[in-house]
Amino acid sequence: MSALKLKLDQDQLVEDFFESTHLMGIVSSARDYQLSWQLNRQLHYPFRVNNSLEIKLTKHQRSFFFTVYEFQEPTKSVSHYLYNNHCKAEFLLPELKNIDYLWLIKGDYYGPQDVKKLTEALRHVELVQLVSLLDLREIKNKVNLIF
């Protein structure tokens, strides 16, 4: 009797995870906890580190751990995730080496205009040097963002 092998459909997994999402790239020399504190103080987004969402990548027999901060808006059914894009000399999304943090908004509540307003507000946060909206279709390693 042969064993049944199940194969994970990564394309479907990626498509499902990124349905109704927006992604912003943030350039900041601040540490992740400092940026999180500043986002709470200035924009009232109380991000908290979620160790269960930490992303582990293994390259060249070394493990790298990427911190993920989370904030839930239950009244809007929206989740916000702030990813650290680098750990030591490795990157969560290698094609975005100039980006320090990634802010993923997951849920139907925010439309393009809302995200544009948030991007503008982020540009005024003290520790933020640059913010840009990212096109998920142009990101090759987006599977790395799935926890």
The predicted pLDDT at position 3 comes to: 67
pLDDT category at 2 given cuts 50, 70, 90 is: low
pTM greater than 0.85: yes
The predicted pLDDT at position 5 comes to: 64
pLDDT tops 60 at residue 7? no
**What DSSP designation does 52 have?**
G
CB-based burial, 38-72: b 16+ in 10 Å, e otherwise: bbeeeeebebeeeeeeebeeeeeeeebebbbbbbe
pLDDT category at 74 given cuts 50, 70, 90 is: confident
pLDDT category at 1 given cuts 50, 70, 90 is: low
The predicted pLDDT at position 120 comes to: 96
**Span 91-115, pLDDT tens digits:** 999 999 999 999 999 998 999 999 9
Q: CB of 84 within 8 A of CB of 56?
A: no
Taken in order of first residue, the domains within the chain and their CATH numbers are: 19-145 (3.30.310)
pLDDT category at 52 given cuts 50, 70, 90 is: very high
The predicted pLDDT at position 146 comes to: 86
pLDDT tops 90 at residue 60? no
